[in-house]
Structure 1
Amino acid sequence: MDQDITSQLRQQESEEKEALALLLERHLSRQEQLFVQKTKMGTAQSYLGSVTLEWLASRVSFALQLQLFRRKYDQKTHNIIRDSETIEELQQRPLDWSRQAHLAQYLAVLKNHKFPPILVVISKDWVNDPNAIEWDSECRADVSVDDFTSLDKNDSIGLLNIGKNYSIFALDGQHRLMGIQGLMELLQTGKLDIYNKDKKATGNPITLDDLIEEYDLDPIALQSLSKEKIGIEIIPAVIKGETYEEARRRVRSVFVHVNRMAISLSKGQLVLLNEDDGFAIVSRRLAITHPLLKDRDEKDWNSRVNWDSATIASKSTVLTTLQALQNMTEGYLEDKFPQWKSKNKKNLISLRPDDQEIEEGLKLISKLFDGLASLPSYRQLEQGVKTYELRRFNHEKGGGEGNFLFRPVGQIALAQALGFLVFGKEMQLESIIKKIIYFDEIGGFSYMDRYQSIWYGVLYDPMKKRIQVSGKKLASRLLIYLLGGVKDDLEKAEIRRALAEARTIEEKTIDFQGNFVNPKKGRFT
């Protein structure tokens, strides 16, 4: 008896599911309807659903194209023209079109790609027509823009009308929309232009053939990307009972707050989270494994890596930053693993290296840091000397040694030079480290702010009395020169000339004795 009842219940449940499936299939086959769940947070009502990338790219426009926002609108860049009349409209940073190609490639190339849902507003023509019958005598809306058909007694799930007579605009996720539109253009035309921030074409376009060849992609699988789905949350442009101005303020308020809450990640945080860049992965592992960098379980221990900021404060006890470690890792290993870098000539992105390459890269950079840890300057840390004592210039509050090795820009320049010598010139790291130890012992890295230093005018700006990052390339070339990596006489002369120029102020060059000299007659040639 019980078995018969159970069997009947199961059959009834199966029939109900089948009936529901047929009902949904009939309704969802209509292009003008979207299956959604109604939600409400505070007074803000919205609908949650999902759409194909192809649909999103063709049907959704950028927020500032919404009539509720528009004043002076640039049709090309999709940004509001900045002037005294439109400053109140600038509720979000302008669209950065230089990101489109990278976002499109991310979707095309990475198998585990994922974009968060996009927040959009849905509108109709009558919203912007003050004479439309939908506005009553008090200029309030008689109806809401959204046309929702409930499918349950709680009015929580149902079908939302999204027919061609509706306009849809992205409030949050405009760069995601930009990337998806770029992907669709790439799939449909076979190429995608590379833009700068203001949507001016730069360089050669990306081609679908380049992607297929470079990343061994399946052309059929690529075309199927257009049918992938992304989450979408929809809010109505006007709700019943609102005036036009009230609706505008409500939508603008949502627009402002969702973007204000989206805090940009710092450079250090980007390195920390990056799982596709081989140099970032290796630098993170280096920071937590190498004795010179990793934290120790000691009472008065101060972390030696700034995991967040790309700069070091004057009183900071850190030795370097995670961003600098990534740049050092890239500078040292780029000749060994050129495939880890993005294919700039074709404007293509890089992919995560395999685990074996990552392990090899970690061993190589760890060996470099073993050598660096033996430098006299770094050995002072084990004697209790604080990093800021060695980093600060003498004229700064508290004074210091102004040591090249305690400045991120110096660390990066050194790693780049050593990478070139080891992997480009095939010199032995051990012999190079011995030369660097000697150079450090005779004060070669100390007191950059004194004219006796080779780094004076290169990494130290004597006029502004501060570090100048622009001298990093020359600093790296000088290190290569000093360590015996330059054999060509013309190249040697060019480096000496560049050094003289770096030490030239108002057409007067400062030599290593502090005298103003003619660079052609001084000790630079």
Structure 2
Amino acid sequence: MTSASEAALVLPALRGVMGDWVYYSCLMDLGNLAKRVRYAEEVHKNESLSKMIQRRLNSGRSTQIAEYLRSQPERFFNSLVVATYKGEPNWFALSNIRSHANNKELQDLDEVTLGSVGFLTLSGDEELFALDGQHRLAGIKKVIKDGIDQEVSDEVSVILVAHKDTQRGLERTRRLFTTLNKTARPVSKGDIIALDEDDVMALSVRRLIEDTDLFSGKRVAFVASNNMPSANTTSLTTIGNLYDILMILFSSAKTDLKKSRADLQRVRPKDEELKQYFELAETFFVAMRDNFPELKAFFSAKDTTAPVKKFRGSHGGSALYRPIGLEVFARIIASLTTELSVKDAVARAAKLPTKLSEAPYLGLMWDARNQTISNSHKVTLRETLLYMLGKSKYSEATLLERYKKETGDDKVSLPKKIK
């Protein structure tokens, strides 16, 4: 609750109606947002329910959003939805304060239009709480608390709706709160890869496709998931899988560029550092090409149809021509970088078998009877391959037990280690 009345505030605003809600779309600067708007604890009178909302906000998101506000010149937010009650909000339409300027276009505006444009005044006694955009509000509060160097304070679009402190009013506001948060959908992976200008993996994927021959043309399937279309006979993998591989490389491999997934997705690095990420991605795939014969056949071919048909199909082929296989190898290589460079880690991993018809893929990744790929045993497959290199995190007994159980063969033995 606010301990004292804030100063009166005049906000430029638009007045609108949707359903039985009257709302005001206003501009509010970061300082006033941080000072005047609280979280949605008022949605619930029950203290435990209010704390559930607070716990959801106690994540790293506020720090990430604060850093975004502090460091991104092209920062932008969509509107926050804020409920207001108590105090004396007042609406002054332009129809009540019509300009005397000799402007024919403005003079010809009808009363409905003029009545939708004006100013909303807040006396300072209002209680304001966010119904939608609470993580953004948490980031705003943090950046204002920690300090932000701006010549002109950012203005954020805020949609104000009226809340009544009655049982009916609480039900109505709770319904709006859940509607706004339940119907919100995250940006799709495909849209991120195609459009995001901060996500390091998305930027690197696009550059691999646009600026190199590695994945130009039909060499990559423009599918946002890891499911390769069965009819595809030209692509090594999908853009979704390419994105995931770079995420593993950038967040798990021990390099000077290693960062958390959240930072890689939300904080665009400076151009020189971004160039280094792209060079790391290119280095990785060039090393894969140079060390795995089946990949060399793909990357060196003008027409990739022949190698794809040879190494992917109902007959099985190579694990590296399947998105799951590339992901497993990316994780193995990332694990090996604790002792080796990325290039040397790839060379070491290249000593492993890749034929789906052989151990350890048979029964874990490749179902020979149904001629299908299984995604259910990735951990055991990865650890078995790492065991063959002497690097599994499991003991031999534990891994053997998992291997027998997941292959469905009580008599099977672990594959031999590779020297």
Normalising by structure 2, we get a TM-score of 0.69
For 1:85-164, list aligned pairs within 5 A. 95=57, 97-124=59-86, 146-151=89-94, 152-153=97-98, 154-164=114-124
- The within-5 A match list for 1:268-417 is 268-288=190-210, 291=213, 293-296=215-218, 304-309=220-225, 311-312=226-227, 315=230, 317=232, 319-332=236-249, 338-339=256-257, 341-342=259-260, 351-354=269-272, 356-357=275-276, 360-361=279-280, 363-368=282-287, 370-371=289-290, 374-375=293-294, 379=298, 382-383=305-306, 390=312, 400-401=315-316, 403-417=318-332
Label 1:369 to 1:287 Cα distance change in 2 as closer, same or farther (>3 A).
farther
Q: Secondary structure at the match of 2:73?
A: coil
Q: Which residue of 2 aligns with 1:183?
A: 143
**AA aligned opposite 1:100:** S
Aligned to 1:501: 398
Amino acid at match of 1:408: P
Aligned to 1:25: none
Instruction: Say whether the 8 Å CA contact 1:37–1:157 is kept in structure 2.
Output: yes
Please tell me whether the aligned partners of residues 336 and 423 of structure 1 are also in contact (alpha carbons under 8 angstroms).
Answer: yes
Give the conservation status (yes or no) of the 8 Å contact 1:331–1:415: yes
Compute the displacement of 1:516 (Å). Answer: 5.2
Aligned to 1:45: 22
**What secondary structure sits across from 1:515 in the alignment?**
coil
Q: After TM superposition, give the deviation of residue 432 of structure 1 in Å.
A: 3.3
SS of aligned partner of 2:355: coil
Q: Secondary structure at the match of 2:216?
A: coil
Counterpart of 1:186, as a letter, is D
Q: Cα offset for 1:123?
A: 0.9
Letter of the structure 2 residue corresponding to residue 341 of structure 1: K
Q: How far 1:384 moved relative to its partner? A: 7.6
* Structure 1 residue aligned with 2:411: 515
The 8 Å contact of residues 15 and 25 in structure 2, kept in 1 or not, is answered as yes
Distance 2:57 2:297 in 1: 45
Alignment size in residue pairs: 381
Q: Is the 8 A contact 1:269 1:307 kept in 2?
A: no
Gaps of at least 5 residues in structure 1 are 1-29, 81-93, 126-144, 188-221, 297-302, 392-398, 482-491
Equivalent residue for 1:54?
31
1:447 aligns with 2:356: yes
Cα gap change, 1:281/1:498 in structure 2, threshold over 3 Å: closer, same or farther?
Answer: farther
Question: CA 1:361–1:258 in structure 2 vs 1: closer, same or farther (change >3 Å)?
Answer: same
Q: Contact (CA 8 Å) 2:31, 2:144: kept in 1 or not? A: yes
Inter-partner Cα distance in structure 2 for 1:108 and 1:424: 36
What is the CA-CA distance between 1:177 and the residue it aligns to?
A: 0.8
**Which amino acid is 1:124 matched to?**
K
Distance 2:60 2:183 in 1: 23
Q: Taking every aligned residue pair, what percent have the same amino acid on both sides?
A: 19
Distance 1:382 1:292, change over 3 A: farther
Bigger drift between 501-510 and 53-62 goes to 501-510
Counterparts in 2 of 1:510 and 1:413: CA distance versus 1, 3 Å: closer
Give the counterpart letter for 1:501 in structure 2.
T
What residue ranges of structure 2 are gaps of 5+ in the alignment? Answer: 1-5, 99-113
How many Å separate the matches in 1 of 2:343 and 2:404?
40
Once residues 175 and 104 of structure 1 are traced to their aligned partners in structure 2, the CA distance between those partners, rounded to angstroms, is: 10
Any conservation in 2 of the 1:103–1:176 contact (CA below 8 Å)?
yes
Distance 1:509 1:261, change over 3 A: closer
CA distance in structure 1 between the partners assigned to 2:406 and 2:177 by the alignment? 56
Deviation at 1:338, TM superposition (A): 2.0
Whole-angstrom CA distance in 2 between matches of 1:349 and 1:225: 22
2:160 corresponds, among 211, 234, 251, to 234
Superposed counterparts of 1:482-501, under 5 Å: 492=390, 495=392, 498=395, 501=398
Q: 3-state DSSP class of the match of 2:49?
A: coil
- Change beyond 3 A, Cα 1:291–1:382: farther
1:288 positional shift:
4.4
What's the CA shift string for 1:480-523, capped at 9, x where partnerless? x3xxxxxxxxxx3x649746532325999999x97356x8xx96
CA–CA distance in 2 between the matches of 1:356 and 1:362? 10
Are the structure 2 counterparts of residues 225 and 259 from structure 1 closer, same or farther at C-alpha, using a change threshold of 3 Å? farther
The aligned amino acid for 2:155 is K
Q: CA deviation at 1:375?
A: 0.9
Summarize deviations over 1:317-344 as a string: whole Å, max 9, x none: 4643434323433555676852352499
Q: With structure 1 as the length reference, what TM-score do the two structures score?
A: 0.57
Shift of 1:260: 4.5
Distance 2:346 2:167 in 1: 75
